Amino acid sequence: MTPTEPASATVDTAAPPVTVPTPAATPRTEVSSLTLEGLTRFLTEQLGERAFRAGQLYRWIHQRGATSFDEMTDLSKALREKLKVRAEIVPLVKDAEQRSVDGTIKYRWKTRDGRYIESVYMPSEDRKTLCVSTQVGCAMACTFCMTGTLGLKRNLTPGEIVAQVHAVNREVRRNEGLETLRPLSNLVFMGMGEPLHNFENLKTALSILQSEDGPNFSHRHITVSTVGLVPMIERFGQETDVKLAISLNASTDEQRSKTMPVNRKWNIAALLDACRKFPLRQGRRITFEYVLLRDFNDSDEDAARLIKLLEGIPAKVNLIPYNENPGLGFQTTMDERAERFRELLCAGHVAAFIRQNRGRDIAGACGQLANRGGESPSETPQSPELP
């Protein structure tokens, strides 16, 4: 007797389903972070376009401040569609704006990953200056500075650094009824972050900002401030041509190490040695920023020590009355003491000026940039990864 299959049994002869992996999307290139040379390579090598298209795209982004490819009406629609797929112009969204009684405007920008940075516009009769940020937060942890309480979140890309300039140019054109594409005249890299801690991105941003096909800022109108990353000061002098400012703020290592942890790695002697070796254009001086803290670094003895420290360095000193921050434990020097300090420096043949604080009433002055927009400070701030 031939056995038979049970009636309920079935034989599945179909092949198992084949799962085809979905190819990962090609990451878009942040074209607003590219120099003209880099943009030319991208367009010719990656998109198969002719080189002259790079100049058109570059001028749209960095002269006109375009934020979308649809604005670029002299590019073909086919190229604009291709750029939408393969490229991006990094966005900064204005999240808040505060206006000071002195005309200063503080802008808070939201980045694409939900972080917040600030930049400060300071107009005056003869110039329009923007204070630019280079990092989200800061790793330097200076004890008198609010930004230092955030810790370092991340570096800004070259495109995010430059986007602050483009965005404020747009704001100034609209607010002041100006037609010029670049109403800003001066840039100071004294906002959130340590610029030389983000050196490669800073250098690229400077190249874009100084380019003839871009904003075309003069080297005479750009100043970069550092807390004193000594190895990077040498590179900065060799690889850029803009002005250098040193955030000194003390006349002794004991003082400086208490308020600026970077001094424990590179003390005042090492910092000033780097300044003496710094290549300066004829007639140019290094600016030394000195935040005056009451009964801490503002005595006659401090002034005498500072004169001695700066011997042999083409220098000028910007004395900055401290902008008080809640919870940081420092007080500002009285006006009479600040003027006395300035007079002592001048008597010692050191050019010294008291900086006019701008935007203090909107927490937009030196050392006050830390508007988190909902962010919390790092529970354990990142330690500086110094060169």
Give the model's confidence band at 285: pLDDT under 50 very low, under 70 low, under 90 confident, else very high.
very high
- Tens-place pLDDT, residues 48-84: 999 999 999 999 999 999 999 999 999 999 999 999 9
Burial of 351 from C-beta contacts in 10 A (0-12 / 13-18 / 19+): middle
118 near 362, Cβ under 8 Å?
no
Q: Residue 70: which region, alpha, beta or left (left: phi > 0; alpha: psi -120 to 50)?
A: alpha
CA distance 9 to 87: 57
CA distance 326 to 216: 40
Q: Is 131 annotated as a binding residue?
A: no
Assess whether pLDDT exceeds 90 at residue 379.
no
Assess whether pLDDT exceeds 90 at residue 355.
no
Contacts 24+ apart (CB under 8 A), 305-313: 305/251, 305/252, 306/248, 306/251, 306/345, 306/350, 307/344, 307/345, 307/348, 307/349, 307/350, 309/251, 309/268, 309/272, 310/272, 310/350, 312/276, 313/272, 313/275, 313/276, 313/286
pLDDT given at position 148: 83
The CATH number of the structural domain formed by 29-88 is 1.10.150.530
Assess whether pLDDT exceeds 70 at residue 17.
no
Burial of 233 from C-beta contacts in 10 A (0-12 / 13-18 / 19+): buried
Which regions of the chain does DSSP assign to beta strands (E)?
29-30, 87-88, 93-99, 105-110, 116-123, 128-131, 135-137, 152-155, 186-189, 222-226, 243-247, 286-292, 315-321, 351-354
Q: Is 97 annotated as a binding residue?
A: no
- Tokens, residue 91: 């966005």
Q: Is 118 in the active site?
A: yes
- Distance (Å) of CA 260 to CA 128, 158, 268, 319, 381: 30, 27, 11, 17, 14
Of 160, 275, 289, 366, catalytic: 366
121 near 165, Cβ under 8 Å?
no
Q: Is 201 annotated as a binding residue?
A: no
CA distance 255 to 270: 16
Q: Is 216 annotated as a binding residue?
A: no
Concatenate the DSSP letters of all residues of 6-70 into one string: -TT-----SPPPPPPPPPPPPPPEEGGG--HHHHHHIIIIIS---THHHHHHHHHHHTS---SGG
pLDDT given at position 70: 96
Indicate the residue type of 261: P
- Looking at the chain, the whole-number percentage of residues with pLDDT higher than 90 is 75
Assess whether pLDDT exceeds 90 at residue 369.
no
Q: Is 275 in the active site?
A: no
Give the model's confidence band at 292: pLDDT under 50 very low, under 70 low, under 90 confident, else very high.
very high
Assess whether pLDDT exceeds 70 at residue 274.
yes
Q: Is 177 annotated as a binding residue?
A: no
Of 49, 88, 118, 289, catalytic: 118
φ, ψ of residue 170 to 5 degrees: the values are -65, -45
Q: Is 142 annotated as a binding residue?
A: yes
Which parts of 75-179 fold into alpha helices (H)? 77-86, 158-176
CA distance 38 to 61: 14
- Tokens, residue 62: 């960095």
Q: What angle do CA 75, 79, 80 make, to 5 degrees?
A: 75
List the domain boundaries for the chain.
29-88, 93-362
Could you check whether 29-88 and 93-362 share the same CATH topology? no
Give the distance from CA 210 to its chain's centroid: 15
- Looking at the chain, the whole-number percentage of residues with pLDDT higher than 70 is 86
pLDDT given at position 22: 47
Query: For the domain with range 93-362, which CATH number is right: 2.40.50.140, 3.20.20.70, 3.40.1180.10, 3.50.50.60?
Result: 3.20.20.70
